[in-house]
């Protein structure tokens, strides 16, 4: 355990979830006869769940401030329908329709944020109303009929990185380049962290071997993932929705952990009164987080529209449940103030792997829902039990390093 802590930088916050994810991947791969860890299945897993993971990014921030948003699925479906109808009925270019859809998402989020930040109505109530309003609106607007999406959106919702360059690599070169960039950034971040540690500790030289183990281990994982996504059948590679998701993960990880606004989000969720006394504008934080949530819901709806090739009256149904599950399986606290983007993504991928693995095993949707519910309950129950017994909780460990910064 001592050496493990050295390698992980005394931060074991995501280890249990990562181990569970690896066990599921390997277990499903064996049980399914080698169909889990294949290029096509992993590509479908990412592109088919990117919209839920995007929702989970925004939902994390909502839950961290001690609120919840039940309307995100309905908002996503409503925006997707508006984009499809405006593009068809008004002959708008696809990018204009997308811009209008994203702007509509921000407008809806501002409406949700108004009731919370200015009127003091809890997010659970205001977004429950929003869920009913926008679920009814999408059915009303569509007349219960599906509307085709602009063809250009299919690339963003179901496309892959393009092929170019020499054939001797035996891989999709766009995916290979993306993997090399990720590998270079990861190695650089490890070396940069080691240099900062040297500067912070005067009179002693930190051991280099933990950094080397992290760099080699992480590099091997990145290399395997690059090969997995880049070696599929011709015409496939890393999915475009996955690329959008990766960009959002990087951006929101920086926002939540490296910016003043991110610190305000955690401060408000941890203790609203203390945050207000320390100068945090609680009302503005509430408003911004809710507006951001609906913006991401709009983006998720547009990506799903491109993948489905049409907007349907039932799109977005129960999406909020998967997003909320991803956040809590990722270790967020129900009371707010605790949670990270990376842990939430692990929780979301774990749910996606469960869906994919159970489908490969021929398990029906009914039993899949039961199993997912039990996994969610178990994840929260283990953490609650640990706190009741006086042991360090999992979600407590998740934020331990954050508070030390």
Residue 301's pLDDT is what?
A: 96
- Tell me the longest C-alpha to C-alpha distance in the chain: 73
How far apart are alpha carbons 270 and 335 in whole angstroms? 8
Residue 393's pLDDT is what?
A: 46
| Correct CATH for 14-159+240-404 of 2.20.70, 1.10.10, 1.10.3470, 3.40.50 | 1.10.3470
Give Cβ neighbours of residue 261 (< 8 Å, ≥ 6 apart): 255, 285, 288
Q: How much is the pTM?
A: 0.89
Are residues 298 and 101 in contact, defined by beta-carbon separation less than 8 angstroms? yes
Please determine, for residue 394, whether its predicted confidence score (pLDDT) is greater than 50. no
Per residue in 8-48, pLDDT (tens digit) is 655 555 677 788 889 999 999 999 999 999 999 999 999 99
Per residue in 296-353, pLDDT (tens digit) is 999 999 999 999 999 999 999 989 999 999 998 888 888 888 889 998 999 999 999 9
Residue 386's pLDDT is what?
A: 57
How far apart are alpha carbons 231 and 102 in whole angstroms? 34
Angle ∠(101,110,66) on CA atoms, nearest 5: 120
Beta bridge partners of 147: 311
Provide the CA 40 distance to its chain's centre, in angstroms. 21
How far apart are alpha carbons 298 and 147 in whole angstroms? 17
Residue 398's pLDDT is what?
A: 41
How far apart are alpha carbons 248 and 59 in whole angstroms? 13
Are residues 157 and 148 in contact, defined by beta-carbon separation less than 8 angstroms? no
Per residue in 125-153, pLDDT (tens digit) is 999 999 999 999 999 998 889 999 988 89
Beta bridge partners of 160: 239
Give Cβ neighbours of residue 269 (< 8 Å, ≥ 6 apart): 63, 64, 65, 66, 336, 337, 338
User: Where in the chain are the domains?
Assistant: 14-159+240-404, 165-238
Residue 165's pLDDT is what?
A: 87
Instruction: Taking residues 244-263, report their average pLDDT.
Output: 94
How far apart are alpha carbons 9 and 397 in whole angstroms? 13
Per residue in 58-107, pLDDT (tens digit) is 999 999 999 999 999 999 999 999 999 999 999 889 999 999 999 999 99
How far apart are alpha carbons 343 and 395 in whole angstroms? 10
């Amino acid at each position: 355990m001592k050496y493990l802590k050295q390698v992980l930088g005394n931060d074991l916050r995501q280890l249990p979830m990562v181990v569970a994810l690896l066990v599921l991947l390997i277990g499903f791969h064996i049980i399914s006869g080698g169909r889990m860890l294949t290029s096509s299945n992993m590509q479908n897993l990412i592109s088919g769940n990117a919209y839920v993971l995007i929702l989970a990014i925004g939902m994390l921030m909502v839950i961290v401030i001690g609120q919840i948003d039940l309307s995100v699925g309905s908002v996503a479906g409503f925006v997707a329908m508006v984009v499809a109808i405006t593009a068809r009925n008004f002959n708008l270019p696809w990018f204009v329709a997308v811009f209008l859809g994203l702007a509509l998402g921000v407008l809806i989020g501002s409406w949700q944020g108004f009731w919370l930040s200015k009127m003091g109505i809890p997010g659970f109530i205001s977004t429950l109303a929003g869920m009913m309003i926008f679920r009814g609106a999408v059915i009303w607007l569509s007349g219960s009929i599906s509307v085709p999406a602009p063809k250009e959106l299919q690339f963003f919702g179901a496309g892959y990185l393009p092929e170019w360059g020499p054939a001797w690599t035996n891989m999709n070169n766009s995916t290979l380049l993306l993997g090399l960039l990720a590998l270079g950034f990861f190695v650089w971040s490890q070396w940069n962290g080691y240099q900062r540690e040297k500067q912070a500790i005067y009179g002693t030289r930190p051991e280099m071997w933990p950094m080397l183990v992290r760099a080699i281990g992480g590099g091997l994982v990145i290399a395997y993932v690059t090969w997995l996504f880049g070696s599929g059948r011709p015409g496939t590679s890393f999915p475009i929705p996955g690329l959008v998701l990766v960009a959002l993960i990087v951006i929101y990880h920086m926002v939540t952990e490296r910016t003043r606004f991110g610190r305000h989000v955690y401060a408000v969720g941890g203790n609203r009164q203390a945050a207000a006394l320390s100068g945090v504008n609680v009302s503005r934080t509430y408003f911004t987080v809710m507006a951001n949530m609906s913006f991401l819901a709009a983006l998720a709806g547009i990506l799903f529209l491109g993948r489905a090739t049409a907007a349907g009256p039932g799109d977005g149904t129960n999406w909020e449940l998967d997003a909320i599950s991803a956040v809590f399986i990722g270790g967020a606290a129900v009371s707010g103030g605790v949670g990270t983007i990376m842990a939430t993504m692990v929780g979301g991928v774990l749910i996606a792997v469960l869906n994919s693995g159970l489908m490969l095993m021929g398990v029906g949707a009914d039993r899949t829902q039961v199993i997912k519910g039990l996994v969610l309950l178990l994840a929260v129950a283990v953490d609650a039990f640990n706190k009741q017994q006086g042991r360090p909780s999992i979600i407590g460990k998740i934020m331990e390093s954050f508070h030390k910064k």
